[in-house]
Amino acid sequence: MTNSNMRDVEPVSDLSRRLGLPFSNLSLLTRALTHRSYVNENPLAVEDNERLEFLGDAVLDFIVGAWAYNRFPEMPEGDLTKMRSALVRNEQLAKFARKLDLGHALRLGRGEAASGGQDRDNLLGSAFEALIGALFLDAGLGRVEAFVHPILEEAREFILTEIHDPKSKLQEWAQSQKLGSPRYRVLGTSGPDHAVVFEMVVEIAGEVKGHGSGTSKSYAEHAAAQDALNTLNIV
């Protein structure tokens, strides 16, 4: 199947089978994958995916919030909010869409397709939300949860690391104390060329507050930031 811009587009029936989502109403799935640029160029296409995107956004907010609440019973409200926000932001939804290869199934106008719309974060994130909205209308909340929960589990460790990023926490604390931004400095390296270990310190207002080491500068900075948080007793 191709659309008018001759870009190969995966048929919705194939996508439904590939994702293990047997839609009873394939027109909902078709609409979820239809960008407004396609509707503008194809009068027979009745509706784009923006209304389904709106619905999917609300359904995802609820499902992700409930999943985080039940998955992490000891997590405080502030961290639950951070986790939900990190999981439903457009950049993350675009990553989910790429893993599902939704871009190959998007129906785009010629100009949008020619400019690489099938791999653009905002289009992919919106398409993922629209897919969720379509699945909710077709099969209900339980089916959406069964589809989304494994996706959330796969992203769990990355998101946990991100929301508990010691560098971000140290930065927030330093700025709240009007001490400026932390400064990271390499003290030296050790080990062979293929396994270099970086020794790092972090300074706040000119004073060393933490030490760390790691096999990359980034890892060493994280370790130094965590050491500073421990030293400063910031939880």
Give the residue among 48, 62, 122, 118 at the shortest CA–CA distance from 89: 122
Give the residue among 29, 4, 31, 28 at the shortest CA–CA distance from 14: 29
pLDDT(5) > 70: no
What span, in angstroms and rounded, lies between the C-alpha atoms of 64 and 88?
Answer: 8
CA 64, 67, 71, 73 torsion-angle sign: positive
- Which tens digits make up the pLDDT trace of 53-68? 999 999 999 999 999 9
φ, ψ at 12 (rounded to 5°): -65, -30
In contact, 212 and 222? CB cutoff 8 Å? yes
Domains parsed from the chain with CATH numbers: 12-163 (1.10.1520.10), 166-231 (3.30.160.20)
- Which tens digits make up the pLDDT trace of 177-231? 999 999 999 999 998 877 789 999 999 999 999 999 988 888 789 889 989 999 9
Q: Where in the sequence numbering do the catalytic residues fall?
A: 57, 129
- Which tens digits make up the pLDDT trace of 116-133? 999 999 999 999 999 999
Task: Place 157 in a pLDDT band, splitting at 50, 70 and 90.
Answer: confident
pLDDT(4) > 60: no
pLDDT of residue 165: 82
Give the residue among 96, 218, 235, 83 at the shortest CA–CA distance from 159: 83
**What's the whole-model pTM score?**
0.73
Tell me what the pLDDT averaged over the chain comes to. 92
pLDDT(23) > 60: yes
Task: Place 6 in a pLDDT band, splitting at 50, 70 and 90.
Answer: low
